[in-house]
Copies of this chain bind each other. A is one copy, B any other.
Amino acid sequence: MAELQIYSPRFIADQPGRNGRTVLVAGGAGFIGSNLVARLLSDGDRVICVDNLETGRQENIAEFLDNPRFAFFLHDVIEPFDIECPVDRIYNLACPGSPPKYQRDPVHTFKTSVIGGLNLLELAQKKDARILQSSTSEVYGDPDISPQNEAYWGFVNTVGPRACYDEGKRGAETLFHEMHEREGVDTRIARIFNTYGPNMDPEDGRVISNFIVQALTGNDLTVYGDGSQTRSFCYITDMLDGLIALMETEDCHGSIDDPVNLGNPGEFTVCDLAEIVLEMTGSECDISYRDLPQDDPRQRRPDITRAGRLLGWAPKVPLREGLVATIEYFRDELGRQQRLSGQVA
C-alpha cells in the first residue's frame, strides 16, 4: 500500500467539509477533474485530489492549494493506496483522454482504467463511499447507430490504436458493474461525450482545443479526412451538473448503477466546427486536410433520454456560448505560456 505525500500544507485532516462531507477526485488536476474540484469546494465539500500529473496540470489546481478544505496527493492510481480520513464520494476521472496522450504509453493507459478502477473500487468498498466512474462515448467505438443510447453494446477494435483507451474503459465498466452486483458497492457509470471549456490542455490534441489554438496562433486548422464526420460538444458546466446529479441521485428504480450517457446531442460536422471557430476568433487562417487516422469514429452523438428521465438533466449551454468562455481561456493561457517562455529565454 503506497504512502501518499501531501502537497497542500494547510489541509486539516480531521475536519470534514462545511457540509460534513469529504469527496475524493481521482484525476482532479485534469480538465474535467479540476473544474469539478472547484465546483465541489464552492458547494462546501472537503476535496481530496489524487493525480499523478501525467496529463493533469499543476496550474489547474494551483488556486486551491491554500484552501484548508483541499488536499492534493501526487499519486498514480494504478498503485493501491489508502486515505486516513473518511470518504463519502469518489469520482474516478483518472485517465488520459485524448488519443495523442493515451497512445504515448498504451499499457499504462489500460492499467490506469482497469487497475486504477479496481483500486478505487476497493477504496470505495473499504470507506463505504459511493463511487462514480467516468466512462466515455468511446465505449461505443465506431457505432452502427446514431444517436447512441446506453443499450447499444458498441463496436470496438480490440487490437487497434484506440484499443488501450476504449477497451480499458469498457473493462472498467465491467468491473464497476460486477463490484456493484456481487459486492454491493454503490456505483455510478457516466458515459461522457466530448466536453470542452476552460482548463483544457492546449496540447490536449482533441478537435476543439486544436482548432482554437491553431486559430489563435495563426495556423491553419487541421481537419482529418473530409471533415464530414460528426461530433457533439458539451460545455463543462453542463457536464458538471450531469456528473453531480448522477452521483447524488438515489437509486429509486434499481438501475442507477447502469451506464448513463452525458453529453450534448447537438451534432456538428468537424468542418462546421472549424468554420465557427474561425469566425468567432476572427482568424483569417485556412483549413488544411490530412488523412483520417485508423479507427476514427464517423459519428458520435448521445441519446440522453435516460439522463433526462433518471436525473432530470439536460445540457443548457449552446456551442457558440460555451465557445466564448473557452476561446477567452485559451487566449489567456497561451499568453501566460508565452510570458513564461519569454522569462525562460
Contacts and interface: CB of A to CB of B under 8 A. Distances in A.
Contact of A168 (B154, B155, B171): B171
A251 to B, nearest CB: 15
Interface in A149-167: 153-159, 163-164, 167
Contact of A114 (B105, B114, B144): B114
B114 A182 contact: no
B164 A174 contact: yes
A183 B170 CA distance: 23
A158 B141 contact: no
A159 B258 contact: yes
Interface string A23-50: 0000000000000000000000000000
A interface residue count range (under 10 / 10 to 19 / 20 to 34 / 35 or more):
35 or more
A99 interface: no
A110 B175 contact: yes
Contacts of A164: 174, 178
A130 interface: no
Contact of A153 (B155, B175, B181): B155
Contacts of A167: 167, 170-171, 173-174
B163 A177 contact: yes
A174 B153 contact: no
B153 A157 contact: yes
A107 B258 contact: no
A144 B145 CA distance: 13
A243 interface: no
A275 B103 CA distance: 51
Total copies of the chain? 2
A158 B168 contact: no
B153 A177 contact: no
A115 B259 CA distance: 24
Contacts of A182: 105-107
A319 interface: no
B115 A139 contact: no
B115 A171 contact: no
A179 interface: yes
A115 B157 CA distance: 20
Contacts of A174: 106, 110, 158-159, 163-164, 167-168
A153 B141 contact: yes
B107 A171 contact: no
Interface in A118-156: 118, 139, 141-142, 144, 153-156
Nearest to A257: B159
A159 B175 contact: no
A109 to B, nearest CB: 9
A144 B155 CA distance: 11
A173 B153 contact: no
A189 B159 CA distance: 10
Max count, chain B CB within 10 A of own CB: residue among A139, A141, A173, A174:
A174
Nearest to A155: B153
A90 B189 CA distance: 36
8 tightest Cβ-Cβ pairs between the two chains A and B: A159-B177, A106-B178, A163-B174, A158-B173, A167-B174, A171-B171, A158-B170, A153-B157
Given A107-B182, A158-B259, A168-B171, 5 more contacts: A115-B115, A153-B156, A163-B174, A164-B174, A167-B174
